[in-house]
Amino acid sequence: MCETPTVFGPRPHIVEEGPVPCPGCCRLIKAEKSPRCEGCDWPVCHPDCIGLKDPSKHGHECFILRLRTHRALDGLHEYYRQDALFALRCLLLQRRGIKKWMQFLQLESHMEKRGKGTEVHKEYDERVVDYLEDNFLKPLKELEKESKQSILPDMSRETIHHICGIIDVNSLEINQSGEVSALYPTACLMEHNCIPNTVHTFEDELTNYRITVRATLPIKKGARITTMYTHSLWDSSATRTFERN
């Protein structure tokens, strides 16, 4: 099976110091020493990075990010939050057609385990939802009000939490010349097994990280198709920590 992702972007991990993915190509850069996107001032690998203008990459979200008028010279890892960028890119899927957006929302999010009152809900409320709403979505709502046009129909806090759940449950990590997370409409349906019956490979950014899934042994009709979401060299403790998170 081969397919391209519904959406992909910088891996949404928390970074307090060190390299971060460029929003255009996801190659690792040092934000403190990097040039900035001329549109939104986000740290990038190069002003001419081809992904900065690509609507499937940074080109679409740049319009939202530039609504924050103030800039940062210090504290870049707190100000330009890579862990919230992928959630914003998923939110913008609704601009690419109702069918694609509804298909995305049907992915498993385990919201019954991460609703209000849970630790994970509190964490994402502070780390992602508040950050997006205060810095970008409130100015966007003001712009909609002034222009009397709907730019992003659904940007509720509940929807952003739902998106974060979908990312946590379904995204696959790609570490090829950068750090990418991608959501695949079919491949994400495979369940985890420490001894899977498939192996998957990713192509490069020129194909938008198309995935190829191959069977590693005969699979009978009706049998479960499995993959490994963790890393084969992790020990049991690391695997359990990953599954809890």
- What pLDDT, on a 0 to 100 scale, did the predictor assign at position 241? 46
Q: How far is CA 166 from the centre of its chain?
A: 10
- What pLDDT, on a 0 to 100 scale, did the predictor assign at position 87? 95
- What pLDDT, on a 0 to 100 scale, did the predictor assign at position 73? 66
- What pLDDT, on a 0 to 100 scale, did the predictor assign at position 233? 45
- What pLDDT, on a 0 to 100 scale, did the predictor assign at position 33? 87
CB-based contact 57:46 (threshold 8 Å): no
- What pLDDT, on a 0 to 100 scale, did the predictor assign at position 72? 77
Give me the tens of pLDDT residue by residue for the chain, a chain 245 residues long. Answer: 999 999 999 887 777 778 889 999 999 998 888 999 999 999 999 999 999 999 889 998 999 999 998 887 677 788 888 889 999 999 999 998 888 899 999 999 999 999 899 999 999 999 999 999 999 999 999 999 999 999 999 999 999 999 999 999 999 888 877 789 999 999 988 988 889 999 999 988 878 899 999 999 999 999 999 998 765 444 444 444 444 44
Rounded to an integer, what distance in angstroms lies between the CA atom of residue 230 and that of residue 212? Answer: 18
Helix axes 82-91, 58-65, angle to 10 degrees: 100
Q: How many CB atoms lie within 10 A of CB 17?
A: 10
Q: Specify the pTM.
A: 0.88
Question: CB within 8 A of 33, min separation 6: which ones?
Answer: none
- What pLDDT, on a 0 to 100 scale, did the predictor assign at position 236? 45
Question: If DSSP codes are grouped into helix, strand and coil, which group holds residue 10?
Answer: strand
- What pLDDT, on a 0 to 100 scale, did the predictor assign at position 239? 43
Long-range Cβ contact pairs of 115-121 (< 8 A, separation 24 or more) = 121/161
Rounded to an integer, what distance in angstroms lies between the CA atom of residue 163 and that of residue 141? Answer: 19
Rounded to an integer, what distance in angstroms lies between the CA atom of residue 6 and that of residue 17? Answer: 30
